[in-house]
Structure 1
């Protein structure tokens, strides 16, 4: 199938099979479509279970539009096929032979049963890049277990424990949904690109892999490295224990102001001047950095009094040119209207969905003089069955027989 707007895109001509579900692995092929790759999403007759994420209101608030599915499956074509059948395996073999990349996050046993394990795929196409995403890694006692990013990326890596409160009886907050899937997907995306470059040089295909756990540990690398280096575990940065100059304050407009003033020698007097509280310099509780830390709770009370006089726009105007690092803690509904995000194309339009002028979150990748492909809707289940089989050389009569025999939806 010929696509418009693929001229000069770096992945033009690359064909990808997406045999994956949910978030981390499917988003990899979505990223590849943004830069010109053609992706066929292989699904069972019931489809990727993530299609139902917004149905029933059990996981997300119920919606008529599969907004969660759209984000990870834009621009793809869907082939709903029964790979448990002999005919399904013949179709799979044809697809694999002409593909450059296969991506899957299926557990080991289902991969083997459906003919999607690395050894079988490699026999069909020695040059293919086989991309595997697992929960805990390819080897070890938990290699066959399934997981979500909440369990493997956050909980197992130590990230979730770090976010605990200073009340020993409290549980850590629930992890940000998809917050581990997206960086994990980006890791696998990078691995695939490196493998494609290597294939250009050697002519050989290979297998690339990553896991939710590996990416969780990578994200938690500073705290993990401290322990690897013999340091005692670094405890959570509880707000009450932090410096008053690296803390959160409530402003007059009820917005939350987050300041990270790290060079006190340089910025302490500047801050006092801008807040009109120079008298604190004469207070013996605060006239040295050590005293400010010892008396941080008292200092926080004084700073809170000062900050409460201003709205965020007012405090921003006062501090913007000082070099002091600060920000407002945005609500998500504020983030989507953030001029900085909008002007840097952090949201991109998508066509074909039920909401007019819909936008989706754009990937955090920018290549000068290379525009991403214009985003198109996520496919309906089996939407491109006939189209794809025709491209493989099947006649209308053969395709009809596949439909009657439930080989395809």
Structure 2
């Protein structure tokens, strides 16, 4: 049994952030009903071009990633008949999950007080750009603005002298991280309700998630009163440890070393690169000397790493006791044997998708495909107890699709 089986989530949300929270809850076993506009659906369904990638036809990974495992109902909440259906759905839900701005929630009648008037025990979860308080609480935003730019991530990754700033690595990068945070908050609120009977309002913002992701760097910046500065591209990494940094292989790939105790690992590492004499080199005899002579060590190691391919180094370092990793692109990650062994990428319908990162009882989540637009409308209405005459009347009124 998955941990959230028996929990029903009503998702009134669009794009990537909040729907990705719904996807995680679905991975954990919740029945997630996605409310989409009766005519246009979630605008994310129209997203075909992301960066240099263009998707033709269906299924569309831009939709599937954040919507797998859900059911979809097409509903016009601006119509009185649609509002009645929404209230019926709220009565049967444990969680109300939304990305709508405060003005939209008030206009359509599903702000906190509206929803709690229908179901006092419901957990009300909101995803926002900039948080629920402050002068900008009613403003919208995306992961590229609130998470990536405003939370300091872009500036902290962009080396000085760069023309412009570093962009997010992939679509919905901040959305997915923030959505996982929101799903965790919802799970905690459900536990609180189970123990105390008291429902909570759960808030997660893109800005708050970005600040949390930057937390270590922000703490250092506040303590030292200076901003975190990106390392120069092509630089080694640590100025006092040749075994903590990035090296280029003969085939143009890279690997990263994170042997943070160079004195402990130096001799073993030298054997793994077929340079055992470096372990006896007086320049590197102690951890202090290694630190003082890091520049010389890095120069030597760069020459050594340039003699073998990434695959050859990966095979050689399989028995190295310290942490290291190949620098992989998104396609290489999907084929990584360790990723596959842990089922971090799974099939969901016709596509393979990244699984949400939490596993229970050493088992991967069960992924289902994202629903087609409004595909379960009739099924959901029948579960609410509506007969066919009423369903047909709702369709005729344009309240449902």
Q: TM-score, normalised by structure 1?
A: 0.89
Structure 1: runs of 5+ lacking an equivalent: 1-7
Residue 377 of structure 2 is aligned to residue 379 of structure 1: no
Name 2:131's counterpart in structure 1: 137
Using a 3 Å threshold, how does the CA distance of structure 1 residues 150 and 395 change in structure 2: closer, same or farther?
same
Distance 1:404 1:219 in 2: 48
Match for residue 214 of structure 2 among 213, 220, 233: 220
2:342–2:364 Cα contact (<8 Å) kept: no
> Does the residue aligned with 1:25 lie in a helix, a strand or coil?
helix
Matches within 5 A, 1:19-98: 19-44=12-37, 45-54=39-48, 60-65=53-58, 66-98=60-92
Name 1:302's counterpart in structure 2: 300
Residue 195 of structure 2 is aligned to residue 201 of structure 1: yes
Using a 3 Å threshold, how does the CA distance of structure 1 residues 136 and 288 change in structure 2: closer, same or farther?
same
Q: Deviations over 1:205-227 (max 9, x none)?
A: 22111111111111111111113
> Does the residue aligned with 1:180 lie in a helix, a strand or coil?
helix
> Does the residue aligned with 2:110 lie in a helix, a strand or coil?
coil
Name 1:229's counterpart in structure 2: 223
Name 1:3's counterpart in structure 2: none
Distance 1:268 1:58 in 2: 42
Name 2:5's counterpart in structure 1: 12
The range that moved more, 392-401 or 285-294, is 285-294
> Does the residue aligned with 1:197 lie in a helix, a strand or coil?
helix
How many residue pairs are counted as aligned between the two chains? 394
Q: Deviations over 1:275-332 (max 9, x none)?
A: 3445556777666656655664544332121112222343234433342322111121
Matches within 5 A, 1:8-407: 8-44=1-37, 45-54=39-48, 60-65=53-58, 66-166=60-160, 168-176=161-169, 177-238=171-232, 239=235, 242-243=238-239, 244-278=242-276, 296-351=294-349, 353=350, 358-368=351-361, 372=365, 374-407=366-399
Distance 2:382 2:277 in 1: 80
> Does the residue aligned with 2:97 lie in a helix, a strand or coil?
strand
> Does the residue aligned with 1:137 lie in a helix, a strand or coil?
coil
Distance 2:290 2:362 in 1: 50
Distance 2:75 2:89 in 1: 12
Residue 273 of structure 1 deviates from its aligned partner by 3.5
Residue 121 of structure 1 deviates from its aligned partner by 0.6
1:164–1:170 Cα contact (<8 Å) kept: no
1:24–1:182 Cα contact (<8 Å) kept: yes
1:126–1:204 Cα contact (<8 Å) kept: no
> Does the residue aligned with 1:63 lie in a helix, a strand or coil?
coil
Q: Deviations over 1:325-355 (max 9, x none)?
A: 221111211111111010101112223x4xx
Using a 3 Å threshold, how does the CA distance of structure 1 residues 136 and 312 change in structure 2: closer, same or farther?
same
1:248–1:256 Cα contact (<8 Å) kept: yes
Distance 1:376 1:316 in 2: 34
Residue 257 of structure 1 deviates from its aligned partner by 1.9
Q: TM-score, normalised by structure 2?
A: 0.90
Distance 1:57 1:257 in 2: 28
Distance 2:50 2:164 in 1: 24
1:149–1:180 Cα contact (<8 Å) kept: yes
The range that moved more, 25-34 or 153-162, is 25-34
Using a 3 Å threshold, how does the CA distance of structure 1 residues 43 and 401 change in structure 2: closer, same or farther?
same
> Does the residue aligned with 1:375 lie in a helix, a strand or coil?
coil
> Does the residue aligned with 1:320 lie in a helix, a strand or coil?
helix
Residue 85 of structure 1 deviates from its aligned partner by 1.0
Cα root mean square deviation, aligned: 2.4
Structure 2: runs of 5+ lacking an equivalent: none
The range that moved more, 194-203 or 129-138, is 194-203
